[in-house]
Amino acid sequence: MSILVGENIVLRALEPEDIDFLFSTENNEDFWEVSSTQAPFSRYILKRYLENAHQDIYEAKQLRFVICDTDSNSVGMIDLFDFDPQHKRVGIGILILPNYQNHGFGKEALELIIDYAFVYLNVHQIFANITSENKTSITLFEKFNFKPVGVKKDWIFSNSTYKDEILYQLIKK
């Protein structure tokens, strides 16, 4: 599917071989704030998750892609979640591993997944939830014309403090 192939990246489905990548990423406490995770995942749980990753987005209401560079290195993940075909909307989340940030991978992945969601899933809108202090993500999403439509005050509790979360929407023209 060429819509998931960019100039410098490929968005690909999860594979059983991704168990180590998922284990290290999902269990990295630095990422727990954005994923609402509070405890580590076992290899067993992640193996079960991978066994069910083939489920159609219409059934699972979510879909995860691994972001790979031209050397097939896994540089991050991009997720579609809370897929609602009745109301034609889907949420989006993106994670680029620290060593691969600021190389344009997030920008290219977001561009590919926006096209995928609008063309193949026929959604009317895509939304993202971003903490107000995450200036990098805010800048990235605003480059693609995502608009802030609301602020959830004190929504995320992390590191003994509350953070506001901004709801962004991109509505298909």
What's the pLDDT score for residue 36? 63
CA distance 7 to 129: 27
Q: What is the pTM of this model?
A: 0.89
How far is Cα 162 from Cα 173, in angstroms, rounded to an integer? 35
Nearest partner of 109 among 147, 136, 75, 133, judged by Cα? 75
**Which pLDDT tens digit goes with each residue over 71-110?**
999 999 999 999 999 999 999 999 999 999 999 999 999 9
The mean of the pLDDT values for the chain is 89
Residue with the two structure tokens 């991704």: 18
CA 100 to chain centre: 15
Domains of the chain and CATH, by start: 2-171 (3.40.630.30)
Kindly report, residue by residue over 104-136, the tens digit of the pLDDT. Answer: 999 999 999 999 999 999 999 999 999 999 999
